[in-house]
Amino acid sequence: MRRVLIWIVVLAAVGGAVWFTQFRPVERRIKVYFIGPVDGVQTLVEVERKIVGRHPDAVLRGAVEALLSGPTAEERGKGLSTEIPAGTRLRSLVVRDGIAFIDVSAAIASGGGSTSMLARLWQIVYTGTQLPAAPLARLLIEGQERQALGGEGVIIEKPISRPPAFPRF
């Protein structure tokens, strides 16, 4: 009986250690990219958010959801905005083979011209590629691969990496 009790204690300790090191939610600081003025030019501006997540999929999912929520009132007061249309929602996000597959609703392609489409694409790419596990992002719309975003012809037919410098709009 004593051996059984010892085994139960050992297994509980091991299970607790595995949960603590592998599965316990962890609060992390992530970056979200909005549009704002820098040196008189509109470009991406990073802001921090706190999310709970451990693995790359969960962390990037939290980051993209924070992006889709838009800037806070305080951030809007500082001139930050988003080109991502209201109502755009994240359908799924999976990291596989160094690529963050980011599937969003069809609202992402509504309204705006080519500058707006480029801005929303770069907001998503920068937010979705901030971890070493996913240096590339592949935008999907309603679960489908598309050649271009909107009618403006912003090409999204393959995974996209961050350019060396923030794009200007």
Q: Please, which residues bridge with residue 100 across strands?
A: 95, 137
Q: pLDDT digit of tens for each residue in the chain (169 aa)?
A: 788 777 776 666 666 666 666 666 789 999 999 999 999 999 999 999 999 988 999 999 999 999 999 999 999 999 999 999 999 999 999 999 999 999 999 999 998 898 999 999 999 999 999 999 999 999 999 999 999 998 768 999 999 999 989 999 8
pLDDT in tens, 45-83: 999 999 998 899 999 999 999 999 999 999 999 999 999
> Which pLDDT score is estimated for 23?
63
Position of tokens 């500058």? 115
Any idea what DSSP says for residue 9?
A: H
The values of phi and psi at residue 25, to 5°, are -60, 140
Helices (H), the chain: 2-18, 56-69, 73-77, 114-128
